[in-house]
Structure 1
């Protein structure tokens, strides 16, 4: 019985690779086009907003394309643009405390770091981070 399961697994993997999975050449071409477009968008965003240019320098790839499970067409790319907030990230009463109590779950304790954030001038907030 184990032999039949192994044969079926091999067969299904071959079907996936040949007929369902995005081919490497297609992926590379689509990724190249996407990167070109995103680089231009990111440049324009930096020109429009100095805060974005200074604090949004990390981009993380995510989603089914990067997990290798995207099927059909390459009609979307997921990414996360990490933007730092103008607050203290130090542990303690005035910062953010990250608690990893169990795998797959993260708890953020935010004390007064965001108090009245909406009423402060952006320039004052940026100076605090520097």
Structure 2
């Protein structure tokens, strides 16, 4: 009886407080794609960008299906592949788990300092591309404007986008990142995929490093990113995603809570690795209790 009441309460919260409005999602998605088409087109006019650019990846909680609140924040990863001639390799550090250095044998544009990729160099180069593209906007009839851009230490340049048609605004984070094959991963990489997702999926064959420094003083340590693999692990797992969204809503209603969204997502990922965790055909209340 208690679980039945909990199920009803959680389902009502999910319907009334968490589910996003379809109209707003559609409107912002259309404008986001227009923005991406314009900026990627402008970036590609730079020959060095064009030589290393592979694709963009819609990251973040919205595209993970974990967004709570309005669909007004988006993460876009620009995925780069370093030239073969640079012979780029990953170096891990026991003192800094989750971070790596990227070693190169020769210059990669202006991105390296000696034999290591350097975060400040990368962000300076990327900021130059953004400034050039923004200046080109005056020559195009676009449905959006760039209200402002905000630059952090790394890895994102945040665009506040204005919708000229509806007078709304939303934020887009552009994040440069570098792709490496799974053969370069020096840890127990197979645990992320074994028995959980299709081993032939391209996302199981690569990982990303992101120019998010460990601190302001070390500009050669990059953060590892497995967000593609994490998305695959959460896909099709019953009520696991709704359970994460409920946890995020609870966190948001306690404004003094220091818990980051990624920690809550990681909680669920660890639960999925536990053989005793039951999600198939389980109710939302059952999954929520198990995750917490």
Tell me the TM-score normalised to structure 1 length. 0.61
Compare the two structures and name the one with the higher helix fraction: 1
6 and 56 in structure 1: CA distance in 2 versus 1, 3 angstrom threshold: farther
| Superposition pairs of residues 18-37 of structure 1, within 5 angstroms | 18-37=16-35
Question: Is the deviation greater in 74-83 or in 53-62?
Answer: 53-62
Alignment of 1:114 with 2:104, yes or no, is yes
- Work out which of the two has the higher radius of gyration on C-alpha atoms and give 1 or 2: 1
Q: Give the one of 31, 53, 57 matched to 1:56.
A: 53
Give unmatched runs, 5+ long, in structure 1: 99-104, 121-130
Residue 60 of structure 1 deviates from its aligned partner by 1.1
Q: 1:67 to 1:6 in 2, by over 3 A?
A: farther
Aligned pairs (5 A) from 1:77-92: 77-87=74-84
Partner of 2:44: 46
Instruction: Identify if the C-alpha distance between structure 1 residues 107 and 37 changes in structure 2 by more than 3 Å, giving closer, same or farther.
Output: closer
Larger strand proportion, structure 1 or 2? 2
Distance (Å, rounded) in 2 between the aligned partners of 1:96 and 1:106: 16
SS at 1:77's partner residue?
A: strand
Matched, 1:8 2:15: no
Q: How many correspondences in the alignment?
A: 106
TM-score (norm. length: structure 2): 0.31
Instruction: Tell me whether 1:17 sits opposite 2:15 in the alignment.
Output: yes
Contact 1:96/1:108, CA 8 A, preserved across alignment: no
Once residues 32 and 71 of structure 2 are traced to their aligned partners in structure 1, the CA distance between those partners, rounded to angstroms, is 10
Contact preservation (8 Å) 1:60, 1:79:
yes
Structure 2: where are the runs of 5+ without partners?
A: 92-96, 111-292
Tell me the residue number matched to 2:65: 68
